[in-house]
Amino acid sequence: MQDDEKILRFVNSNDAARLAELGTSCPDHFLRTKIKPLYVDWNPQTENAAALQAKLATGLEAYREDYAEYYETCKHDNSPAMRDANPTVVLIPGIGMIAWGKDKSESRVTAEFYNCAVEVMRGAEAIDRYISLPQQEAFDIEYWLLEEAKLQRMPAEKELARQVIIVIGAGSGIGKETAHRLVKDGAHVVCVDLNADAAAATAKEITDKYGLGIGVAGTGLSNCGLAIGLAANITDRVSIRRMLDDVAIAYGGFDSICVTAGIFVASDTSGHIPDDKWALTFNINVTGSYLVADEAFKTWKAQGLRGQLVLTTSANAAVAKKGSLAYDTSKAAANHLVRELAMELSPLVRVNGVAPATVVQGSAMFPRDRVIGSLAKYSIPYTDDEATESLVTKLAQFYADRTLTKAPITPADQAEAYFILVSQRLSKTTGQIVTVDGGLHEAFLR
């Protein structure tokens, strides 16, 4: 979305409707912007948002019909099939220009082309009158057979192309790994964390790695790139709503949400856990996921598009362990929350869970002191001056040796499960818990 002085001067002008209808005069332009934009005749001073919504709906319908008529009138016997009849540029007085594309990068290029078209119109009108290409000539360029051949040779889109996925807890561990995994297959990712700097750091890692799609610094949410970092507190409904609204500004909406945020508070040596720590554990591990789902469902319904929600539970939900009373019971509740939400949000949203066994490597839940505490608890030899990496490796292998596969479980293993669940590979699966625990036989169903 563009709302700078230059574009507002155009869309707010008396001539905007007339000039928009004429379309662009440059072939390079309308291959991106189509033969003309959709101009919405809305008055921001006298009409409200509901009126704008209604005019957008009728305007889109009329645009599609007009484009189909244009195609039928101008097509040849050997013309390619009609392409998408929706506009790629929408002009709204008082708001600005909204440009569309298959991804954020393409939508930005579309906007740049129409900015050039605006300058051509302004220059022509300053001298005399702006004239567009004849419709038939425009069609012959837009549906040029060589252009169609080039389009047919384009590489197939990646599996998650055109998808916007929110990863909550993306500042570290499983969440960070999941964000990187989803982008690898074409998704735009919103990296969300309680720690705003950690969220921004993950988003920067992604944009630094993939280059194309990075946003323009300092130009606001609407000009973001392939990934963006946002802060949110999942125990605070207002914070969640603000984050989801920011996602709408950045990308127009979202398709899926992965909630990887969680907390572990160990019991003391007597098995006691303070009331406030018990409440905090449930607030983050259970209530937080519910609040995210409840607020997100409002947006999913408004979009009218199917979505996916993936929550994080744990192998501990099925296996009781001494010293993790609050965590284990919260994860058992999270297991059932998955099933309840699958019922409540159907058929629009599929809801599933990922249940990891203990992930030590790269996990924010395993700082050095907890690793040492666990090593001591299980009588695993170590020295106080031993490197943290060595301590982590020892503990990870200890947990691995309790599984059937005997291999340490990594954040990347979990990320693969999130990828599968937000993709369409399991499009008929909902209300299920996918375990990624290396084969922890104590957690087998019984």
Q: Is 34 left (phi over 0), alpha (psi -120 to 50) or beta?
A: left
Structure tokens at 78: 């050997």
User: Which residue, chain included where needed, has tokens 């990075």?
Assistant: 214
φ/ψ of 189, rounded to 5, equals -120, 135
Of the candidates 201, 194, 197, the one whose C-alpha atom is nearest the C-alpha of residue 176 is: 201
CA separation, residue 240 to residues 226, 295, 296 (Å): 21, 7, 9
Is residue 230 a contact partner of residue 190, using CB atoms and an 8 Å limit? yes
Q: How far apart are CA 122 and CA 130, in angstroms?
A: 8
CA separation, residue 38 to residues 19, 42, 64, 89, 97 (Å): 11, 12, 10, 6, 10
| 165: β partners | 189, 256
φ/ψ of 436, rounded to 5, equals -130, 75
- CB-based burial of residue 221 (10 Å sphere; 0-12 exposed, 13-18 middle, 19+ buried)? middle
Amino acid letter at 19?
L
Is-catalytic flag, 327? Answer: yes
| 91: β partners | 39, 97
| 311: β partners | 259, 353
Relative to beta strand 96-99, strand 89-92 is antiparallel
Structure tokens at 44: 């921001």
Q: What is the DSSP letter of 231?
A: E
Q: Residue 253: CB partners within 8 Å, gap ≥ 6?
A: 164, 247, 299, 303, 305
Q: How far apart are CA 235 and CA 238, in angstroms?
A: 9
Structure tokens at 163: 């998808």
- Spot the catalytic one: 67, 251, 327, 418: 327
Q: Residue 33: CB partners within 8 Å, gap ≥ 6?
A: 24, 88, 89, 110, 113, 114, 117
Q: How far apart are CA 427 and CA 135, in angstroms?
A: 43
Structure tokens at 240: 């969640």
Structure tokens at 176: 């960070």
Catalytic center residues: 327
